[in-house]
Amino acid sequence: DEEMAALSETVPGSGDAPKPILNPQDDTQWLQTLLGDVDPSRASDAAKQAFREAKFTEIRKKLESILVKTGVKATITKALAGLQRLAPERRPKNPFIFMQRALDGPLSTDVDALRRKCAEQIRQLTEKNRQIHLLKKEIRRVEQVRENV
């Protein structure tokens, strides 16, 4: 259920009801139909090859549409473009490690930045609380002076 919630989008003007991008039942049914066997005794080799190519093209298009809908294609394209922009001498020997770091990098960088920002805000809050305490103390002192006058 959590995975389906992650793969849902809100449709404007529909009461903001989530509309699933992927439906596991439909996709499973589709894949079973798509990968159905051909009766080898009834088809020529050329017909079998044409059928396989058509099925492959259909599968490729379906998977590509899923990757586009979920944003995976854009993310991978961005990481590959970063790898391609590197000078040949700076390119890693194992591009898969580069891809893993490229895909994880912004997230961990964002977490570090958020931690620094949080620490700074805690420091500022502590300083403001100290100032409030001093001001309350000053107010009590002034009220005592007024009472004594």
Interhelix angle 95-148/72-85, rounded to 10 degrees, is 100
User: CA dist 48 to 20, 51, 60, Å?
Assistant: 35, 5, 18
H helical segments located in the chain: 2-6, 24-34, 45-70, 72-85, 95-148
* Confidence category of residue 82, pLDDT binned at 50, 70, 90: confident
Q: Which two tokens stand for residue 6?
A: 């992650």
- What is the pLDDT, as a whole number, of residue 8? 46
Q: What are phi and psi of 10, to 5 degrees?
A: -90, 135
- Please report the pLDDT score of residue 106 as a whole number: 54
Task: Write down the pLDDT at residue 113.
Answer: 81
Cβ distance 14 to 23 under 8 Å? no
Q: What is the mean pLDDT of residues 49-78?
A: 85
